[in-house]
Structure 1
Amino acid sequence: MRSRCLVVSLALPLYRTPFFTCATLGLALFLMHSPGAFAETPFTLTSASFHSGKVEAAQVFNQAECKGGNRSPQLTWRDAPAGTRSFAITMFDQDAPGRGWWHWAVAGIPAKVDSLPENASSSGFLTKLGAVEARNDFDTDGYGGPCPPPGKPHRYVITVYALSTADLRLAQGRPALMFDHEIGTASLGSARMVVNYGR
């Protein structure tokens, strides 16, 4: 190994010593073989609509016993995986009885987009992007905010998916469960957050 380093050092400017060259080469080899040396930056999701992990009144459903603004949350995501061609978003209540409760599913968000404003669902913002929204478990298209029965707060999982395709061939108003299945077939990675709401 010493002779190889000396040969390399001779090809470099005179101020580079064999020791310097060997040390530099050794460090480079160490970094190349170190776990996580070239790890990608994590795919992350944040929201300005939630504070301390709790759902605000603006995002709560607005029917029956629930009196909220029913505005879809502001979302921002960063560092999607390489090869991402579009994004999809779901919001799911994992504590609802039975199989859980779908509050939102949207697909076809262009890859150039990295955030949604608050109320993107009903304001027409998503439609202008060419995105499509599922029928949620309230039996309405688009976003339907939290409205759990009185008692223990529920956990709502909001997930942004990076997809390998720009077209899942999903139509507006198809069931959220169908959206979830098709999203899963094309997912390159996901970023999620969990927020709580009870009444």
Structure 2
Amino acid sequence: MKQPHDLIITTMLFCTLAACNDTRDATSAMPMPAPQTATVDAGHCGSDGVSLVAGSSCVRSSAILASARAQPLQVTQAASLEPTALFDWAESTYPGLFPGHKADQTIAPYLLRYYPETQSYMGVADGLVYGYGPYTGNVLVSFGKLADFSCTVLPASCGLPGAPQSVTAVAGNASATLSFTAPASSGGADISSYTASCVAGGQRLSASAVSSPISVTGLSNGTSYSCTVSASNVYGTGSASAAVVVTPVGASSGTFSLSSSAGSNGGTMPADYTCDGMGSSPQLSWSGAPAGTKEFAILMTTLPGDGTTKWNWVVYGIPATATAMGRDALGVGTYGVGSDGPFRGYQAPCSQGPGAKLYTFTVYALSGSPSLSGTPVSGQALASAIAPLTLASAALNLSYTRPSNPPGSTAACMNP
């Protein structure tokens, strides 16, 4: 694409001999005409090769500039071009036309520079660049918007956008919805679109939109996908965001639910399942697991007075064929360690504070085996590892209030 400064060379060809040999005092500044004097008939604005649209007006230009502007122009965001930078660039690029200058002047509405040797001006008013002098045939000409010169004057500011930030993914039925925020840098041009891509087993599925969020469809339920988001501008597509893992949720045979012979959801947990009784682990049953479930995990949690999560039961690697855990069940899945460790297994509730405490049993249907390092596995480690693999989860809440003189103790209620 031809650059706007091509106008300078072209307009020199139109400079008349009389105008170019102007003999007026080269040290005195000539008055620069007001911007409205560049206004011309708008009937054929932009199509006659010597005019362009500037705001709500049509202004005098040149055939070369009109040809350049017929192609898509970059609208800069990151780069804020100052008039003085444009003047400096013009002087270094065309020293014969702009040899030296007087100090910059602010003569409303212009910020301008005057070049005594050539009796020429370059000025900026209301975001438009103007030229006047022998090199324009001594008529006021607009070169276009100041912003349109940004990539010419400040090429380092124009490039690919950065990576989108804060990417999250929510699983859907054969789909994933990715949310994100804009890149720290747009690359010097407006971001025209974003593309979300999800990859698994060599298969890539993508979708594009002009803003967050973006839904990628056609995914396989039960398969874990690595998803990224990238931004594009007029220069191309930038680097991808950090990947997030998501597993689409398949249609289930029914609502995934959890129940127990120890009590109904919202009910009271018998003392037998606490340190005030036998400290048994409760029986659990679940149904309606989604398609694609490869295994299950169970976590039991409570929120003590300090607001931190306490883990009482950590179990993973439960076969996908399982639909229940019996009371005091052993050998089903792999046991991790709760907050009252170091023993692996069910750690019976033994609250030290007054009042009822709520205990939550949650079973997770997973699309695969979690990646875990080190043993024994803690509740927090398992919760983090299964997050991207969770197809569905079901919870059961039971409460328990300890008596005023409780007989049990935490140390006495650990099952190996």
Per the normalisation by structure 2, the TM-score is 0.34
Q: How does 1:100-179 map to 2 (within 5 A)?
A: 100-120=309-329, 124-126=330-332, 131-139=333-341, 140-165=343-368, 167-170=369-372, 172-179=375-382
- Which deviates further from its counterpart, 109-118 or 170-179? 170-179
Partner residue in 1 for 2:292: 83
Corresponding residue SS for 2:316: strand
Partner amino acid, structure 2, of 1:50? G
Q: Contact between 1:94 and 1:157, CA under 8 Å: does it hold in 2? A: no
CA offsets, 1:38-86, max 9 Å, x none?
A: 986210100002267111122102xxxxx32111110000010111000
Task: Say whether residues 1:183 and 2:358 are aligned partners.
Answer: no
State the distance in 2 between where 1:78 and 1:147 align.
30
Q: Contact between 2:253 and 2:289, CA under 8 Å: does it hold in 1? A: no
- Indicate the percent of aligned positions where both proteins have the same amino acid: 32
Superposition RMSD on alpha carbons, in Å? 1.9
State the distance in 2 between where 1:47 and 1:109 align.
17
Q: Contact between 1:135 and 1:141, CA under 8 Å: does it hold in 2? A: yes
Corresponding residue SS for 2:340: coil
Q: How far off its partner does 1:169 sit?
A: 3.7
Partner residue in 1 for 2:256: 43
Q: Structure 1 regions of 5+ residues with no counterpart?
A: 1-37, 62-66
Q: Contact between 2:281 and 2:327, CA under 8 Å: does it hold in 1? A: yes
Partner residue in 1 for 2:278: 69
State the distance in 1 between where 2:375 and 2:278 align.
23
Partner residue in 2 for 1:6: none
Q: Contact between 1:92 and 1:103, CA under 8 Å: does it hold in 2? A: yes
State the distance in 2 between where 1:147 and 1:54 align.
15
Corresponding residue SS for 2:383: helix
Task: Say whether residues 1:55 and 2:269 are aligned partners.
Answer: yes
State the distance in 2 between where 1:73 and 1:160 align.
13
Question: Which structure is higher in RCO with an 8 Å CA cutoff and minimum separation 6?
Answer: 1
Q: How far off its partner does 1:172 sit?
A: 4.9
Q: Contact between 1:89 and 1:106, CA under 8 Å: does it hold in 2? A: yes
Corresponding residue SS for 1:197: strand
Partner residue in 2 for 1:193: 396
Write 1 or 2 for the structure with the bigger share of helix.
1
Partner residue in 2 for 1:5: none
Partner amino acid, structure 2, of 1:176? G
Task: Say whether residues 1:92 and 2:295 are aligned partners.
Answer: no
1:42 and 1:59, CA in 2 relative to 1: closer, same or farther beyond 3 A? same
Task: Give the greater-gyration-radius structure (CA).
Answer: 2
Per the normalisation by structure 1, the TM-score is 0.69
Structure 1 segments, 4+ long, off by >4 Å, are: none
